Amino acid sequence: MPVKTNTATQSPSWISRLADGVNSPGEQPGRIRSVSVIGAGVMGRGIAAANLQQGISVRISDTSNDALSGAVAELEANLDSRQQAQKLISGTQCRQELAASDLIIEAAVERLAVKQRIFAKLETYTSPESLFASNTSSIPITQIAAKLEHPERFVGLHFCHPVAERPLLEIVRGEQTSDATLSAAVEYARSLGKRPVVVGDSPGFVVNRLLTPYLNEATVLLLEGAKFEEIEAAAVEFGMPLGPLAAIDGIGIDVALRAGTVIYDAFPERMLPSGLLLALFERGDFGYKTKQGFYVYGDDGQPSKPSPAATAIIDERKQSPRPFSKEELTARLFLPMLTEAMRVLDEGLVTGPRDIDDALVYGIGFPVTDGGLLGWAERLGMTTILEMLAPFSPLGLRYQPTEQMRRMSSDGNSSFA
């Protein structure tokens, strides 16, 4: 059955609520006036810049002196004056200085042991009012906080890449996160001009748990013989800001692989490990930041062509090429995301469908025309969705409808309102 994309002229019953207010930038929170950011990579710099733009002072740290000095210089250059820079931004590797901030945000490598070690070393220096947060994209917050004396002061603050362009701040409540910590995190998000969405603790949370099957399916399709340009065009024509392969390069193949591994391990019956990502990672091809991943990038930062190395790896492993229609490619990319979203709803990780659509619209640029992923499903109707899933059921559980989806189809009810 052909896939209907976002061409409807009317909105689902609840789409208007997507525009409900986020506080305007510049509103200062009651508690968060200073922030320490641990990790001076792409995400750490982006998080630091978001704070500086609102006049929140930042201490940034990194184990690499070169990365730290480069981050401070870059952040200073974007401030209005040297006087303002001296007041707002500093680099340090001193634990006591980092611990003196109202909020300490970790944006280090995606490894549980590393994150636990960072917070264990800092906790003894912090005041009772200081809050801890991790920008982890996949590791459950409860696991990171497990060895802390005060896990109630720990929360997930998942900024989406690129930080300056993505309004979402996914706030993850661990099993022991206190109401006061959660409230402070929400107000902090609003002070940055971000859209807070509070979610339950689970590998990948909401954004990356749903993004992973979409990105992974693109690599599966490559190995089934689909062409680069066909996959990317299907996603962009659907309304995504860029194709999934370009998105992986932007995120970083190393980051996508580490986060994906956490999610694959948690849900092995539905998530497929990507040997293609692993092969590129082992070559040291991490995407945009190394100028080569699925694409080769020029000095202007734009992809110039598919990477010959990636193409060679794909050619060694792919099945015999066959034609793929745009409708098939669209269904393959977005249906696994939808079935996983229904499981997120079933597990109670969000308060309702609006949270899922907010997370995807504001976190990854999912097309808003139908209100987001569940808005798209509501527009098509659940019976149509089940008909679209049926031809792909031999591919595995990721293409199997949930019981709730079956009930909605049987009842003739496709509304998430």
Residues annotated as part of the active site: 158
Position 371: which residue type?
G
Distance CA 152, CA 211 (A): 28
CA-angle at 372, arms to 343 and 22, nearest 5°: 105
Distance CA 237, CA 78 (A): 35
Q: Among the residues of 124-243, which ranges form H helices?
A: 141-144, 179-191, 207-224, 228-238
Distance CA 371, CA 351 (A): 17
Give the contacts of 325 (CB within 8 A, at least 6 positions apart). none
Give the contacts of 198 (CB within 8 A, at least 6 positions apart). 171, 172, 173, 182, 186, 351, 355
Task: State which H helix or E strand residue 158 sits in.
Answer: strand 154-159
Distance CA 251, CA 281 (A): 13
Residue 70: count other Cβ atoms within 10 Å of its Cβ.
Answer: 15
Pair 310, 212: CB distance under 8 Å: no
- Gyration radius of the chain over CA positions: 22
Distance CA 269, CA 116 (A): 28
CA-angle at 275, arms to 291 and 347, nearest 5°: 105
Position 365: which residue type?
G
Distance CA 104, CA 140 (A): 18
Closest to 272 (Cα-Cα) out of 213, 331, 313, 337: 213
